[in-house]
Structure 1
Amino acid sequence: MKRTLIGMVLGAATLATALAQDSWSTHRGSNQRTGTTTNARNSVANFLLAWTLPDMDSVRMPVVVDNDNAALTSSTPAGAWKTPSAAEQASDPYLDNPNTAVPYQYAECVREPLDPSEPLPTVARFTWRSGQLTPGYYRIFVYVPSSDTRVGGVTAQYARQAEYLVVDSTGTAATLYLNQTLGGWQPLGDRVFYYDGSTQIVVTLNNLLRRDNIDYPLANTPIVAADAIRFVPDYGTVQASPVAIRSPLDPGNHLVYIANGNGTITCVENPVGTRGARVRWTLRVPDLPNQEAGQIYDNEDANFTAGLFTPNDALTDRYERLYHEIAPTNDAGNIQRAFWKIQVPTTGQYYVFAWFPSDDQNARQAQYVIEHEGGSLRLRIDQRFGGRWVLLNKIPVEMRSGRTYEIEVNNFSPEDVAAGAQRVIADAIRVVSADGLNNAVFSTPA
């Protein structure tokens, strides 16, 4: 959830009577999002609200933590992370210090055992810490060289689903995946992380390939590269002028409602006479992609792989002639998947819908996996209520023209086994471009 930081100065002029003014008209037409709002001239009170977004006192520069920053990085176990030689290193590492002898490091990936009862191999971890930042919300970007690294004279492939764990000041842990083959600065997920002024944000990369990782079947073991991390302040964006009212619960506070370009409405509380504010709540307004557009992939198409899913036509509100189904499992070593291989016509952001027939015995927690440029997005969908196009990803994902992506549904769902569900269904998917769609809020509700 994006947070909006706003700085405001609120001053009161002379009151004509003892009555209080409860609201102000909005200030329109300020592209810089700075200005003043005043009440009507013939009002019984005359207040002035001066505002700017973000507060100019709080504007912050991005902070980069390079892999050779000994004070803010660490790695385990000893010897697992290797520094490539000058002859084998990539030509474009991030060099915070051009004289460094450690441009970046890498570790060869290890695989999670197929048998869940077997212990994990030794997992290598590389950790970056944010250090002391200005309190606020941050997005995280990861730098990976875009040119090849050679290991023993042989070109090594970067992992397409490198696993990162991020823990921010709230203690919330997020596991995110990054396609390191893209190279350069890449966003780590589509979310912000909070820094409270004392507890650092910690980012950890590991070299484990889980059983459902797209690189798991590769004959040649890929590598993960640890180079630089960038913490970028996130202020949000304003799409419409703020509307301010006096708080009905506390006359000493004003509530400012802000429409944001990221599709949210934010309520900010500003105590009277202070230069500061805090976010009370943020509401996201979902966009609605056109379900009649896009590319449809059925379960009878040539680009569909059924695996051990079997065809059936018993449920009537299926898409087209038939669907494929399989019983759910709680055995992590026996996960079965069906998948579509897709290609998009143009590079851009995309939504994915799924169609499946309705039935009370369908899976409640069917897992879909959408492969995209940032890695893989995993989603749990209730398949009991179908017979229509169901939106899988609330936030669009990037796909590029000329590349092939897999969209899968698998049968790993211990919850459904416990609930007695009979089937996980693979029927049809629809891929819809998000370009031209906009979930921005263009007018602040008064």
Structure 2
Amino acid sequence: MHWWHRPRRWKIWPAHLIWTAAVRSPFRPALLALLLLQGACQSPENAPTIAIAPLPPDRVGGALSSDAPANQLSPALSPRERLEHSLGASFFNKPWVSAPSNTHDRDGLGPLFNAHSCSACHPRAGRGMPFENSSTESSGLLFRLSEPDPVFGAQLQTRALPGFRAEGQVSLQYSEQTVSLNDGDIIRLRRPHYQARQGLSPRLAPRLVGMGLIDAIPQSAIAAGADPDDRDGDGISGRVAGRFGWKAEQESLKDQVAKAFVEDLGISTSLFPHSPGCEQNPLRCAAVSGGTPELSDSGLQAVVDYLSHLSVPRARQSKTHSEGWRLFQRAGCTACHQAQWQTGKHSSPLLAEQTIYPFSDFLLHDLGPALADPSGSLAKEWRTSPLWALGDGPYLHDGRARTLLEAIFWHGGEASHSVSRVQQFSGSERAALLEFLRAL
């Protein structure tokens, strides 16, 4: 892995280090010209030059990169391999039903749940949509409890089978605030307010892009970028947790899928054998159980394998995208949104030893009070979200951001300096930055 694709932190490099790196780089002619040009524009009193990395390739997903939509299996799979993934696709896309039923392989829903299927929250393997007024309207926005409750557990289940009672509903209202930009433009940000007796932490279902590739990154590589005590003094203190989920709660894709099955659908697995609500009513739950576990180990692995081999859309490239990438680095976004990674060994050739560009360091960072959960020791900390295949909004963990620009200006904490730089960009520079992000 080459340093020019991994600017782990936004650094001011001494001139002799830039020169040494440029001489060793295969891009040295263009890079040297860039450095000389920038150096000519600076006086000796100014800060040293910052090296700008070349634009990443369009194949951001390595061997899984294609022109196919992100919800389709990779065209690189053989017909036989595609057939093998049909079981996982069925478990993911088709509705689960209550037990007992004739569809024994797909029963066991509930008794408490948030959705009937994985695809209800992740339509076309995409992100969910927040509701406008009440949680009865949508399955794409779930609610974690800020402090786990002995009765309600760690997540609020808003639906239930007949004979059982849902744990509650949530209503939503928005307030608005404005941000003034350097050129006089104004951005209107909306802040969600949830009416509930207990502190709730909303979680919007994310896009499921490159999940198998992320799972294949060696843990040692992720840990190497951590700096929890900010020993280098750059203001960025990434901390290692897992790698999946808004708070990086789960270490593996298998753990993430199993956790979603039990908490969102009430489907038990060997990893999480107890469905929500059954601690208080074990006998009633036994009457609607779809087996022990309700999703077998082979079924769980089938869903993991299916998600692991979905296509990663190619990034678009143009002169505007190249300029946007330069501004992305100039703003310091690569301090957390690390571009390049290398996957490790894997049984699937499409996942093994691939060079990928998810634009995330997969670490937890303090993003300030504006995005914080109501309480908890990690209230202000969030995993850096990958930026590949961003697609249309809404964005952020609760869907409050309708546009990418809104998402940027909700950042605080460790990202404050980057937001300030974007705020000072001209209108054309912000447009180029946003075009680059949309092209990913």
Q: TM-score, structure 2 length as denominator? A: 0.18
Higher helix share: 2
Higher RCO, Cα 8 Å, sep 6+: 2
Higher strand share: 1
